[in-house]
Chain A
Amino acid sequence: DTAVSQTPKYLVTQMGNDKSIKCEQNLGHDTMYWYKQDSKKFLKIMFSYNNKELIINETVPNRFSPKSPDKAHLNLHINSLELGDSAVYFCASSRGLGSYEQYFGPGTRLTVT
């Protein structure tokens, strides 16, 4: 029983394309996150949703748009992909605001050529 799942695990695409990464959690959590891990392994928050409402929107280009159709899903859509978007993207969830423990998905390695 996977707690936080992401699809796909690997994504190779060309510059200029539009792609989506899906995230689902079956933990009944209210809060979900997207983190980006760059080539130097540095992890940084991109977005956070609580009960489908956007809570955090860090300085991320407008080409990145999160969408939360329901509490169990938080998808990440990226328009006009650039070489610098190549990274590993992690989805995570927590019980809710004020709950400290986050559960991470397996990550999606995005390679833009």
Chain B
Amino acid sequence: AQTVTQSQPEMSVQEAETVTLSCTYDTSENNYYLFWYKQPPSRQMILVIRQEAYKQQNATENRFSVNFQKAAKSFSLKISDSQLGDTAMYFCAFTFRTGANNLFFGTGTRLTVIP
């Protein structure tokens, strides 16, 4: 069975500081993609960053970067220079490179950026 675990239900960070959200997953497959999605109060699901499991280099998107440890099945998200607009639920997810490609989601981390 495929599982995604986010062990931090809630986190807070001061504006302009850095915060790291943790995620671990479990799968016996070898070819997959990993994602972080953001869900602000508007409810819209927004893709923040993605990582191909076959790439060793960690993905970065502006202030967002990941620490991907394939052997440990760990995929954490680092947000640098936190902004008020980063306040949201953050979901870790993965999908397989082949097959139906549905996303398996974690339970989410509610992040609050404090002014």
Contact = CB atoms under 8 A, between A and B. Distances in A.
| Mutual binders A and B | yes
Interface of A: 31, 33, 35, 40-45, 48, 50, 55-56, 88, 90, 92, 94, 97-102, 104, 106-107, 109
A101 B100 contact: no
Given A42-B107, A100-B50, A106 B43 contact: yes
Contact of B44 (A31, A42, A102, A107): A107
18 contacts: A40-B107, A41-B108, A42-B107, A43-B91, A43-B103, A44-B105, A45-B104, A48-B100, A48-B101, A97-B98, A97-B100, A98-B97, A98-B101, A100-B33, A100-B50, A100-B101, A106-B44, A109-B43
Contacts of A31: 101
B45 interface: yes
B47 interface: yes
A44 B93 CA distance: 11
Interface string B77-111: 00000000000010101010111111111011000
Given A88-B43, A90-B45, A107-B43, A97 B101 contact: yes
A26 to B, nearest CB: 17
Interface residues of B, number: 23
B97 A48 contact: no
B23 to A, nearest CB: 14
Contacts of A100: 33, 50, 95, 97, 101
Contacts of B105: 42-44
Q: Is the interface of A mostly helix, strand, loop or mixed?
A: strand
Most buried by A among B95, B100, B104: B100
Interface of B: 33, 39, 42-45, 47, 50, 89, 91, 93, 95, 97-105, 107-108
A48 to B, nearest CB: 5
Nearest to B32: A100
Contacts of B108: 41-42
A50 to B, nearest CB: 8
B4 to A, nearest CB: 10
Given A43-B93, A100-B33, A104-B45, 18 more contacts: A31-B101, A33-B102, A40-B107, A43-B91, A43-B103, A45-B103, A45-B104, A92-B45, A97-B99, A98-B97, A98-B98, A99-B101, A100-B97, A100-B101, A101-B50, A104-B44, A106-B42, A106-B43
